[in-house]
A = this chain, B = another copy of it.
Amino acid sequence: MRAEWLEDLVAHREAALARLGELLSIPSVSTLPEHEGDMQRAAEWLSREMEASGFHPRIEKTARHPVVWGRSPHQPGRPSVLIYAHYDVQPADPLELWTSPPFSPTIRDGQLFARGVSDDKGQLVMHLAALDSFRRLRGDFPANITLVFEGEEEIGSPNLPDFIRRHREELRADAVIISDTTMQAPNHPILVTGLRGMAGFEVIVAGPQRDVHSGLFGGAIANPAQALCQMLAACHDRPGHVAIPGFYDGVEPPPAAELASWQAGAVDPDLILAATGATSLAGEEEYSLAERLWSRPTLEVNGISAGVREGQKTIIPATARAAITCRLVVGQDPERISALVEKFLAERAPAGVSVQVIRHQASPASQVPIDSKAAKLALAALADGFGHPAQTVRGGASIPIVPVFQDVLEAPVLLMGFGLETDNFHSPDEHWRLDHFDGALATMLSFWSSLAAGGLS
């Protein structure tokens, strides 16, 4: 890294972390109605900070949570880059498993702990800080920059596609940068080449009108909790393999070269065990670990609830609920999969209960070509920023908006993420390594320097 960059980063590190701390202190949980006010507060905070960083901010209302976006002063003839990040976070429960409170950012052992620090507020604030740094050093923006900060990523980006289509001309860019993925290992950067899609569901099984006595009525009426267990158990026919007819239709295996690299051990089993604390791996044994995570679809029960919450209670519960998400791969149409899952569950409802399946978010898998000039620039910048060659791999998670950016803006998407799989995304004690914050800043300074030097032309 150049000495002048390092000097600027060190001089402004405290201020950048304080700025991040402010955003992390706002519990902007998009999935829970009680945080509506926090979402609005976060949006207003972002608007102020965008302005402080030289952007013309706008808060654009949607049916649910606002998009905060802004453009730097655009100059004709300069390349244009769109930076996307999201300011909403997952719920923080179970709270009792956090070492420090989820919305009181705390530094321990060189890592910053808070809900959303890695997914995705830290990476969002990092981009503002990197551009501030570039402007301090060079007196101007490196390109025509558009920032798009979403508040609905964790609920599947229901309103962002419309936003992008509506503002297609203003959002036009030569590259879209998304920093919401992970690296392979500490300080080992990667450029992600593909992500899984998603189809989410809520299943509600209803039986008696109220919870009723399991002795007085047990044996004579159906039990919704048992019915739900049977329906969910039927979704798999062997470990990791989904039994829903048609689920795998059209699933495309990865290209031979990519597959060969995966089978050579692209995913470290010890890292998966360390990151999850699971005692052993599971899933489809006939596939490599990389395939199970990147090119094989899944159906996961995210939660289930019925009847007695604590203590003993001898009842037949009135209702049973489950939250389910499928991760989808290339070749699977989210609408088709949603219909298959819905039909499969509805058909398996035993007599005496009624079943309702509510469809939630659905988005296809995405593939990101890495032969663009922008991708080459990104790979070089990642290597420069972390002092380690950047690899190209896929990811197992979902960023629903990636294919929309590709289709509507026709721009290459750069999945330059700076988290780690061990950062506890969506889990208690979510954290982010401060050396990744530094490395990400250095990466972006390198990227913007190359870009300003004509790297896209």
Contacts and interface: CB of A to CB of B under 8 A. Distances in A.
A350 interface: yes
A144 interface: no
A198 B396 contact: no
A182 B212 CA distance: 14
A209 interface: yes
Contacts of A314: 90, 154, 198, 200, 300, 302, 325, 398, 426
Nearest to A214: B300
Interface stretch (A7-15, A41-49, A121-129, A217-225): A217-225
Q: Which of A90, A293, A296, A312 has the most CB of B within 10 A?
A: A312
A161 interface: no
A309 B303 contact: yes
Interface string A201-235: 01000011111111111111111011011101111
Interface stretch (A277-285, A331-339, A445-453): A277-285
A352 B426 contact: no
Interface residues of A, number: 101
8 contacts: A154-B312, A154-B314, A213-B427, A217-B272, A218-B300, A226-B232, A300-B314, A312-B361
Interface of A: 29, 31-32, 90-91, 93-94, 97, 154-155, 182, 196, 198, 200, 202, 207-223, 225-226, 228-230, 232-236, 239-240, 267, 272, 275-284, 289, 292-293, 296, 298, 300-317, 320, 322-323, 325, 327, 350-352, 354, 360-361, 395-398, 421, 424-429
